[in-house]
Structure 1
Amino acid sequence: MKPAYWIARSKIIKPDEYFEYVKRAGPASQKYGAKILSRGGRFEILEGTREFERFVLVEYPSFDAAMEFYHSQAYQDAAAFRLAGAGINELVIAEGEDSG
């Protein structure tokens, strides 16, 4: 089975509301087999826009699992905080290579 990667680039506008999104989305993702690889740590932009200030990389066991999480009610409830103006995201789910 090929893993999939949730890749998010974020700009936080309203920190309290944005971190309410983070507080809810992270635990909800565990039901879908999420493994957080990087979240808000040190970074250096080598090429591209400097608009974003927070980067998140999460591994899921499959593309379908990542998509199921994104469309789940738990994630959509969490995302409502961000979508209400707490932050701006670019979000991509990319399928990885077989690990075998």
Structure 2
Amino acid sequence: MIKPAYWMARSQVINPDEYLEYVKRAGPASREYGAEILSRGGRFELLEGTLQFQRFVLVKYPSFDAAMDFYHSQAYREAAAFRLGGAGINELVIVEGEDSG
């Protein structure tokens, strides 16, 4: 059985306008790869660690390969260019989940 994968990002937004452009492009493009956005920029409370990041994103993909395919896609590279141009600092990890069955 194919296991789902989770895209987990922590961000510090520096330029909100440029970062918003990234969000507007990346979200819709991710759905073409089966993404289900579970959390994006919602309420949070830091329980341990330091507060470097203020925006947290969790996206579920049908498989690890689907998440990696999106990350390496032309659509994501074009969207990420807005963020990578100085709109924010980001940490991103894709982790394989467990079977739900």
Matched residue, 1:58 = 59
Equivalences for residues 26-41 of structure 1 within 5 A: 26-41=27-42
Matched residue, 1:2 = 3
Residue type of the alignment partner of 2:25:
R
Number of aligned pairs? 100
Gaps of 5+ in 1: none
**CA-CA distance at 1:26 after TM superposition:** 0.1
Equivalences for residues 79-90 of structure 1 within 5 A: 79-90=80-91
Runs of 4+ in structure 1 over 4 Å off: none
Matched residue, 1:76 = 77
Specify the SS of the correspondent of 2:32: helix
Residue type of the alignment partner of 1:61:
P
- Using the alignment, how far apart are the partners of 2:65 and 2:19 within structure 1? 26
- Using the alignment, how far apart are the partners of 2:24 and 2:43 within structure 1? 20
**CA-CA distance at 1:49 after TM superposition:** 2.0
**CA-CA distance at 1:32 after TM superposition:** 0.3
**CA-CA distance at 1:99 after TM superposition:** 1.2
Matched residue, 2:19 = 18
Gaps of 5+ in 2: none
- Using the alignment, how far apart are the partners of 1:3 and 1:99 within structure 2? 9
Length-normalised TM-score, structure 2: 0.98
- Using the alignment, how far apart are the partners of 2:32 and 2:69 within structure 1? 10
**CA-CA distance at 1:94 after TM superposition:** 0.4
Length-normalised TM-score, structure 1: 0.99
- Using the alignment, how far apart are the partners of 2:64 and 2:49 within structure 1? 26
Specify the SS of the correspondent of 1:32: coil
| RMSD (CA atoms) | 0.5
